[in-house]
Amino acid sequence: MANGDLPALFVGHTEDNAWLVGDGVNDPNLAGACAAMCIWAAIEHEPGIRELADLPVGWAAERNAPGAPWHRSPFRFAD
């Protein structure tokens, strides 16, 4: 997602007010799979993220494909 090759399919707004953006393909736990950027840079790559500006802390949104509707739900890290 960070290089613009894949669309954003997951956005999380963590309890510490960080934003997570995932492509639903790459495992973020693997070395080199993550990049740090400001949320505005992510929106530049994927304008659909802008729809989630009101996503509350502790919530996440997922969608099946670019342009598909976002589905919101409470978020927590997997154990």
Is the pTM above the cut of 0.75?
A: yes
The pair of three-digit structure tokens given for residue 42, joined into one six-digit string: 């992510």
Contact status, residue 26 vs residue 34, Cβ threshold 8 Å: no
Full pLDDT tens readout for the chain, 79 residues: 555 678 999 999 999 999 999 988 877 778 777 788 888 888 988 899 999 999 999 999 999 999 999 999 999 877 6
Nearest to 75 by CA among 23, 35, 15: 15
Q: Could you state, in order of their start, the residue ranges of all structural domains in the chain?
A: 1-57
